[in-house]
Amino acid sequence: MEINVFKFCSGLRVLGHVMILLVAAIVGVSYYAVVFLTYGPQLLRGGFDSFLSFTIVIIFHVLLVLLLWSCIRVVLKDPGSVPENWRAVSGEESLEVGTSLAAAEDGFERRSRGGGYCIHCQNGKPPRCHHCSICQGCVLKMDHHCVWVVNCVGACNYKFFLLFLLYTFLETTMVTIVLLPSFINFFGEAKNHSSAAKSAIIFLAFVLNFAFALSLLCFVVMHASLLSSNTTSVEVHEKKGVIRWKYDLGRKKNFEQVFGTKKSLWLFPLFSEDDLKKIPALRGLEFPTRSDVDA
């Protein structure tokens, strides 16, 4: 009996939905522990404790809104699909294509220099494009398929993924810190049956957030390194043995290839229309390369 590996990969989407429910459950437990059980009741007491509690609750909600906003954007946003009948062009046509790309108002010319061909999609593959066995399609500047967001991470939603990663790390770290005093008192209060349920919820929230904060720290550091060198997770293997990575344009330009040039939008899962028109890498079909490296 033959086993279809691609059907098995597609089944991982179900696991992704479970992961989203798990994230929602952790957010719910954390919210209840921080706002309702720990710092919410102190808001009306007055004095420094009330001010501190108010500050913690405000920061908690700001990070939570940014976290959920980024998560929704990375889940719902198409990571970048290859236009139908896209094909690479030969050297003789490159000048003509370059002119048409500059003249196109929407910037989505179906031909470009470089690329290959996908036997699964039976379509051209732009540079840095890879086929995802789970999504059953090619993804522009594919980084990886993330089961936590039930979506691929590619050219069009990589910024949203990085912000989701960052805000989740900051939120879990904050929850860990603000619940630490209650966690320390857990073993003494647990003997009191009236506060046993409250202590158990705080204990659970602390352990979950602490574990997530530690694991997310590794991913934050890893993706910060990839961002600084303009590399995707898939391309790490392609870079082995390469002296100069052709897409590495310097940290500032590498950052702008993902986050855009408008500084006021860097911390939000948004792009300015101007950046989408002027930075081809945000659309995923063309990427500038170093002048000292052969394309």
Which residues belong to the active site? Answer: 146
Q: Is 157 in contact with 73 (CB distance < 8 Å)?
A: yes
Distance in angstroms (rounded) separating the CA atoms of residues 140 and 158: 11
Tokens read off for 22: 């798990």
Helix axes 158-184, 12-31, angle to 10 degrees: 40
